[in-house]
Amino acid sequence: MKISGNSFCPCGSQKKYKNCCRKFHFGEEPQNALELMKSRYSAFASTVSEYIMKTTHRENPDFTHDTQSWKKSIHDFFDHSEFRKLEILDFIDGEDLAYVTFKANIFQGAIDVSFIEKSKFLKVNNLWLYHSGEFIE
Ligand SMILES: [Zn+2]
């Protein structure tokens, strides 16, 4: 779903999207892994697949140079999912390795497909990238 600049940012900051994650979606670089995590969630919620692809580490299993099919699979997920809320549970910062544990509240129709994930982020050439994640029961 597309969101307007005046809507609340999907990341849960209570700020308007135009004053929050949108700047990252349009080229500004997150200063830490937590900002990256939140802006990636917002990108999922507001259908900015380019940003998801750009901030994924090449070692991630989803990474492919076939951006057309990757984009399609991201959109398939977007189109059937409603991103209701992001809750940050833990943030372990580091020089070039960081972890964020979060709960993503996501519904597909009436079905709750929410999950808790511990995500690993790596800093490569001064840019934070999403490396991988493990689900936490
Ligand atoms: Zn935001």
Q: Considering the entire predicted model, what is its pTM?
A: 0.95
> Which has the closest alpha carbon to 55: 78, 32, 84?
32
The fold for domain 17-135 equals Nuclear Transport Factor 2; Chain: A, (3.10.450)
Q: Please report, in tens digits, the pLDDT of each residue of the chain (137 residues total).
A: 678 999 999 999 999 999 999 999 999 999 999 999 999 999 999 889 999 999 999 999 999 999 999 999 999 988 889 999 999 999 999 999 999 999 999 999 999 999 999 999 999 999 999 999 999 97
- Ligand 1 centroid – CA 51 distance (Å): 14
- Ligand 1 centroid – CA 24 distance (Å): 9
| Domain boundaries of the chain, sorted by first residue | 17-135
CA 58 to CA 52: how far, in whole Å? 12
Q: In this structure, are residues 34 and 100 in contact, taking their beta carbons and an 8 Å threshold?
A: yes
